[in-house]
């Protein structure tokens, strides 16, 4: 992974805080209870980036991470942090 340890720790902390606030989030995504779920091809990717947006990390990603990473690098870090979701609908 190319993300710095400090940036990874920050991402992990903010995402875990958001998951603690919304304990049913994984279940909702697995059951397709989110906007335009019927159009999603890669549920894990959608979940990771939606969770990042919901955690208020958009500015951090654009202003900090994208200065030295691309989407694939960010997604690799997010896959390690975010719970795995599987389609159940």
pLDDT tens-place string over residues 50-60: 999 999 999 99
pLDDT score for 32: 96
Q: Tell whether 19 is covered by a domain.
A: yes
Q: Tell whether 88 is covered by a domain.
A: no
- pLDDT, tens digit (0-9, with 9 covering 90-100), for 37-85: 999 999 999 999 999 999 999 999 999 999 999 999 999 999 999 999 9
Q: Tell whether 67 is covered by a domain.
A: yes
Q: Tell whether 20 is covered by a domain.
A: yes
Domain that holds residue 45: 5-81
Q: Which long-range contacts (CB under 8 A, 24 or more apart) does 13-18 make?
A: 14/55, 14/56, 14/57, 14/60, 15/51, 15/52, 15/55, 15/57, 15/78, 15/81, 15/82, 16/81, 17/55, 18/51, 18/54, 18/55
Q: Tell whether 36 is covered by a domain.
A: yes
Q: Tell whether 60 is covered by a domain.
A: yes
* Count: domains in the chain: 1
Q: Tell whether 74 is covered by a domain.
A: yes
pLDDT confidence band for 89 (50 / 70 / 90): confident
């Amino acid at each position: 992974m190319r993300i710095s340890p400090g940036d990874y720790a920050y991402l992990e902390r903010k995402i875990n805080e958001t998951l603690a606030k919304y304990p049913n989030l994984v279940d909702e995504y697995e059951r397709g209870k989110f906007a335009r779920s019927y159009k999603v091809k890669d549920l894990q990717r959608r979940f990771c980036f939606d969770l990042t947006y919901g955690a208020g990390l958009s500015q951090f990603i654009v202003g900090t991470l994208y200065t030295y990473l691309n989407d694939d690098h960010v997604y690799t870090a997010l896959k390690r942090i975010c719970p795995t979701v599987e389609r159940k609908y």
